[in-house]
Amino acid sequence: MGCYDCCIRCIGAVPYPSLVATLLCYAGMALFCGCGHEALTQTEVLVETYFARNVQDYVVMASFIKYFQYVIYGLASFFFLYGILLLAEGFYATSAVKQTFGEFRSTQCGRCLSLTFIIVTYILAFIWLAVFAFTAIPVLFLFNMEQTCHDINILAETTPSINQHSWICMDARQYGLLPWNAMPGKSCGMTLASICKTSEFHHTYDLYVAAFAGAGITLLALFLYLAATAYNYAVLRFLGRKGIR
């Protein structure tokens, strides 16, 4: 067998759906964990500076941010290991392995392992769907804040009276960032417009958008994993019925 034929057979043995899903999973988790970690830190600074005067008003949010940042570390480690396991399972179950290495044994343990990956991946996809929806909340808040600032700037240019736009506000309490008794808890008028012009606001907004995109990419990777593991399980069951054990 020549070198070319050997390379072709090795390339044919690669489980491409699992490989693509692994790359998407790593890229999505890198965006979600890296940008999400920094965005949480910037959020605490924004709320502390512009929406709350008393430390007790945002102590719960600060504690949540601190613990969730530790959760991010755990998520990065878990998905790194889980991606390797699913990729290894893809190499094991692909039909190209049989063509490359000759005899292929579909054991009961192998089929049980593939079924376990299907169940675990399905549960992870369901949980990550909730994480994806949760990640949209800060993006929605900052998007509405940017649009509100845009409306304030238009009113400021067209109406000379400051009372025309001083009633336009963004209330962080409505989004659960602060308790209802927090003071002031909201920012209005030109004060709000000045916040939107700060580099901290734009930096935080971009980070949350990137984290949201990373969560979506990871969710797509989990769906691809689910399809790949379901196919691998079907292949193993088919080989088992054919008597290849």
Does residue 101 surpass a pLDDT of 60? Answer: no
Q: Report CA Rg, the chain.
A: 25
22-36, 89-103, 145-159, range with greatest mean pLDDT: 22-36
Residue 242: band (very low, low, confident or very high) from pLDDT cuts 50, 70, 90? low
Structural domain boundaries, residue 70 = 1-241
Q: Please indicate whether residue 216 or residue 104 has the higher confidence score (pLDDT).
A: 216
pLDDT tens digit sequence for 11-58: 656 677 788 888 999 999 999 999 988 988 888 888 777 777 776 767
Rounded-to-integer distance, Cα 83 and Cα 25, Å: 7
Q: Are 163 and 119 in contact (CB under 8 A)?
A: no
Question: Locate tokens 């979506």: which residue?
Answer: 216
Given a cut of 50, is residue 161 above it in pLDDT?
Answer: yes
Considering only CA atoms, which of 153, 227, 245, 163 is closest in space to residue 196? 153
Average pLDDT, the chain: 78
Count of the separate structural domains present in the chain: 1
User: What is the average pLDDT across 199-210?
Assistant: 89
Higher local confidence (pLDDT), 120 or 180: 120
Residue-wise pLDDT for 130-147, tens only, equals: 999 989 988 988 888 888
Q: Are 185 and 51 in contact (CB under 8 A)?
A: yes
Please classify residue 115 by burial: count the beta carbons closer than 10 Å to its beta carbon, then call 0-12 exposed, 13-18 middle and 19+ buried. middle
**pLDDT for 96 beyond 50:** no
pTM: 0.80
How high is the pLDDT of residue 109? 63
Distances in Å between the Cα of 103 and the Cα atoms of 5, 96, 109 are: 19, 11, 17
**What pLDDT shows up at residue 160?**
60
Tell me what percent of the residues of the chain surpass a pLDDT of 70.
Answer: 75
